[in-house]
Structure 1
Amino acid sequence: MFLPNSRYARVATVQTTSSTGETVVALKLRQLTPVTGDPRMVQAGDRLDLLAHAIVGDATQFWHVGDANSALDGRSLVETPGDTVRVPRS
Structure 2
Amino acid sequence: MFLKNSRYSTVPTVTAIDGQGREVQAVSLRRLPTTPGERTVVRDHDQLDVMSQRRTRDGTRFWHIADANSELEANTLVETSGRAIDVPVK
Length-normalised TM-score, structure 2? 0.95
SS of the aligned residue for 1:52 comes to: helix
Deviations 1:1-34 (A, max 9, x none): 1111110101000111112111100000001111
SS of the aligned residue for 2:25 comes to: strand
Which segments of 5 or more consecutive residues in structure 2 lack a partner in the other structure?
none
Number of equivalent positions: 90
SS of the aligned residue for 2:31 comes to: coil
Aligned residues: CA RMSD: 0.8
Distance 1:17 1:79 in 2: 35
Corresponding residue of 1:8: 8
Corresponding residue of 1:86: 86
Q: What is the letter of the counterpart of residue 61 of structure 2?
A: Q
Is 1:58 aligned to 2:58, yes or no? yes
Q: What is the letter of the counterpart of residue 73 of structure 1?
A: E
Percent of paired sites with the same residue = 42
**Which consecutive segments of 4 or more residues in structure 1 shift more than 3 A?**
none
Distance 2:82 2:19 in 1: 44
Q: What is the letter of the counterpart of residue 50 of structure 2?
A: L
Which segments of 5 or more consecutive residues in structure 1 lack a partner in the other structure?
none
